Structure 1
Amino acid sequence: MSRFDQLYRKLIVTKFFTRGWGQPENLKKIFDFRKVLGNRDACYKLVPPDYPVTIDKDELQGDVRILEGHFVSPFKKCVPGLMPKETEIARFQMVLPKEWKSHHKPVCLQLAGTGDHYYWRRRTVVARPLLKESGIASIILESPYYGLRKPKRQLRSSLHYTCDLFVMGGALMLESLVLFNWCERHGFGPLGVTGISMGGFMASLAASVYPKPISLIPCLSWTTASTVFTKGVMSESIPWKVLENQYSVDTVYADEIKHTLVSPEQVLGSTYNMGHEFVKTYSDKLEDLKLNQSPAEMENILKERNSHSFNDHGEKMDVQADIDSMEDYLVKKSGCKGDNETVGKFTIDRKSLKDNALDFMRGVMDECTHLGNFSIPVDPSLIIIVAANHDAYVPRTNVISLEQLWPGSQVRYIDSGHINAFLFHNVQFRHAIADSFTEQIKRYHS
């Protein structure tokens, strides 16, 4: 585990899932729809080939052409009522050459990592250099809950509910199909998709629903996000007491939802547990939880270090107060006093709450993010995975490897931690993108 990753998490910036799991009925809808997303043929039919896309801007900046456009997210229609109003319009920017240097017009879709709002970072660090070095254009898609798609009451990248992450993923899968189809209609190709960290997970999901060979370059991600939120340093950015007590108060989570969850780790014989090592070490005291910061946010560290700040609309925000009030309500309703030093039955209850919350988190994350629940990309030989040897954000132990899941894919390792790789190894990411496109051209476009 990278020591730099461990130190990095001490920067107090963002908490995730501060309002809990999300409404049980919303989770049920998401899990039902996940089964559709997990079937490439069924999912692809949800997005018509001529799905309307509007271009808002087309301008030249030196030898680079910049397009900006938008469209209504298909997820809004497929699962009504789950997307906040601000997230419903998908927005993108395209970086392409003024003149193409060959008859090929390769385009790589870039999906955002945690905290990567707007377009500027992906455009500056990946898109422009990739175009200059390899002649590959980019489409930069803004994620739901980020940038102009961020809900009014959301502070920074702090998703309010666990289910928000699943809405984001499902929406990005369908929105990626819209853009792939749009590229085909306009003569662009070959096509690819990439992302770093969370963007790598999302890129893998997007590639799984495209019915043709596509270059896939997931960087600093792996098979499932469950280990990220239960074993990695990101686990310390979650107010576990809120989730524990909410799980115990509303029995629907355990009685009606938990038994429907599908983990490929179980199916393929891997141990299905919730990381009891984390249970032993994680503190009951919310104030003892040290908060991490996403890699993209490191480049834009906010000056304030307390929990009081303002959102983009000038409103006073207090995440800690939000968590505390939620905890007080849930603890009172569940009959627990929240005192870890109390002996007797409550101590047993608290430990049980920990186990149950961690187990449920593993379950819902595997259900919606484990790549074993989705179709294998059409040609795994076009997949180049870039991973960090000492990644403390994305633990790879005790889960199915991507090489096992996608036979024929290639993994390239960087001798660093997550943050170091994110900040200083973008050249390796771009080389992997270029190599995958070269292989695709050789196989399918010669």
Structure 2
Amino acid sequence: MVTVNLGILHYVLDHVYGAFMHRSRISTPFFSKGWGGTKLDMLEKMIQQLFPEIAGQNWPPILVQPIWRTIWETKTACLREGVFRTPCDDQLLHALPPESHNARVAFLVPKNVPPEKMACVVHLAGTGDHTFERRLRLGGPLVKENIATMVLESPFYGRRRPMLQSGAKLLCVSDLLLLGRATIEETRSLLHWLDTEEGFGKMGVCGLSMGGVHAAMVGSLHPTPIATLPFLSPHSAVVAFCEGILKHGTAWEALREDLAAQKVVMTLEEVRERMRNVLSLTDVTRFPIPKNPDAVIFVAATDDGYIPKHSVLELEKAWPGCEVRWVTGGHVSSFLLHNGEFRRAIVDGLNRLSWNKDTSFVTAN
């Protein structure tokens, strides 16, 4: 009898999928146009402004007012899509491609329930998640628990994708920082809108992979307790692009040539070290611990080829009081098979927030 190690199979699946997506010639690699020039220098300074010493100085954010249209409606729920001008300041707005200036959201809300007795979780996009559908499927079953789902379309993705960009492969390193900074600003404004305009009783933010990193940052910076739910996410983009499978889909030679054109000669190893330094700005462990760490639940995979286990352990160490839950699988298989665990984390995180009324959520399957 042959004994099969399922952990190895999950890990191999990640690498097979990664080889197909990132080592083949189906699309260009990440950052094929280089670093982003002076835009990168500007963004490094802007990202630093998210750190603890001045995190509270830009609250409240600009209040967005989405323009809504109803997509469908039943006796129990309503799905609307909204458009709003990104609330980013002028400097950040001008750095974004024109296609990304208008943000889009999908909003799935239970009917016949007052907002103060509902919760809403903002779902942020992982790498390559261009549409609303996957995240709506994740949040849809929670409607019966009086939990609304708001799905944000990321800059550089979906209808916000620049004309010259192919799929999810960002053209410049600066685009990755732009995507993150704009996502954080938009999410904070949406949470402010849900609180002040809609009056939701509880709120949270979640995301898978890259979306989990952004969710952790938003939860860290939010001035009041919210549920913070990063799924299959690293502590930093350094891990994703310099250690995990995505390093094989990164245009290292193009990045080296971009520096050489500026009279900066580097070896490929030195280029990788520069990437580590730049992406260290996305290190969640440098962000403040959220106001209620007990409502922070990380869901990680045991055999993740994209996110090394040590990265999750660094998050657990940096944010005492948070919870890490492990699911058996790799990055790809967990993405496909463990939506129930992600929903359970959402419910549990929300249940750890104070509630104005004597109301609680039951565990979702």
TM-score over 0.5 (shorter chain): yes
Alignment of structure 1 residues 24-103 onto 2, 5 Å: 25-38=38-51, 39-45=54-60, 47-48=61-62, 51-58=63-70, 60-62=72-74, 63-100=76-113, 103=116
Q: Specify the code of the residue in structure 2 equivalent to 1:67.
A: R
- What displacement does 1:27 show? 1.2
| Counterpart Cα distance in 2 of 1:393 and 1:220 | 9
1:52 to 1:229, Cα distance in 2 relative to 1, 3 A: closer
CA contact (8 A) 2:71 2:81 kept: no
CA contact (8 A) 1:76 1:83 kept: no
Partner residue, 1:363: 277
CA contact (8 A) 2:116 2:200 kept: no
Greater relative contact order (Cα < 8 A, sep 6+): 1
Select between 242-251 and 429-438 the one with higher mean Cα deviation: 242-251
CA contact (8 A) 1:390 1:418 kept: yes
Deviations 1:16-67 (A, max 9, x none): 11111111x211111111122223202325x23xx23132213542221112
Structure 1, unpaired ranges of 5+: 255-333, 335-351
Instruction: Choose the corresponding residue for 1:117, options 130, 141, 153.
Output: 130
Alignment of structure 1 residues 253-292 onto 2, 5 Å: none
Say whether 1:9 aligns with 2:18: yes
Q: Which has more radius of gyration?
A: 1
Say whether 1:107 aligns with 2:116: no
Across the two proteins, how many residue pairs are aligned to each other? 340
Deviations 1:272-298 (A, max 9, x none): xxxxxxxxxxxxxxxxxxxxxxxxxxx
CA contact (8 A) 2:40 2:173 kept: no
Deviations 1:193-238 (A, max 9, x none): 0011111111112212210001011000021110110111111011
Q: Specify the code of the residue in structure 1 equivalent to 2:341.
A: Q
CA contact (8 A) 1:73 1:88 kept: yes
| Counterpart Cα distance in 2 of 1:177 and 1:398 | 25
Partner residue, 1:205: 217
Say whether 1:435 aligns with 2:348: yes
SS in 2 for 1:402: helix
CA contact (8 A) 1:72 1:88 kept: yes
SS in 2 for 1:94: strand
Instruction: Choose the corresponding residue for 2:262, options 250, 260, 268.
Output: 250
Partner residue, 2:192: 181
Partner residue, 1:278: none
SS in 2 for 1:157: coil
CA contact (8 A) 1:380 1:406 kept: yes
Partner residue, 1:404: 317
Q: TM-score, length-normalised on structure 1?
A: 0.72
1:236 to 1:73, Cα distance in 2 relative to 1, 3 A: same
Select between 85-94 and 238-247 the one with higher mean Cα deviation: 238-247
SS in 1 for 2:206: strand
Partner residue, 1:354: 268
- What displacement does 1:82 show? 0.7
Instruction: Choose the corresponding residue for 1:426, options 336, 339, 342.
Output: 339
| Counterpart Cα distance in 1 of 2:344 and 2:239 | 27
| Counterpart Cα distance in 1 of 2:315 and 2:334 | 19
- What displacement does 1:439 show? 1.1
Partner residue, 2:161: 150
1:407 to 1:160, Cα distance in 2 relative to 1, 3 A: same
| Cα RMSD (Å) | 2.0
Structure 2, unpaired ranges of 5+: 1-7, 359-365
| Counterpart Cα distance in 2 of 1:431 and 1:190 | 16
SS in 2 for 1:428: helix
| Counterpart Cα distance in 1 of 2:130 and 2:95 | 21
| Counterpart Cα distance in 2 of 1:59 and 1:20 | 40
CA contact (8 A) 2:97 2:162 kept: yes
Deviations 1:46-103 (A, max 9, x none): x23xx23132213542221112212211225252421000001111010011222895
SS in 2 for 1:376: coil
| Counterpart Cα distance in 2 of 1:426 and 1:399 | 19
- What displacement does 1:245 show? 2.3
- What displacement does 1:376 show? 2.2
Say whether 1:236 aligns with 2:248: yes
Identity of aligned residues (%): 32
1:92 to 1:399, Cα distance in 2 relative to 1, 3 A: closer
Alignment of structure 1 residues 372-391 onto 2, 5 Å: 372-391=285-304
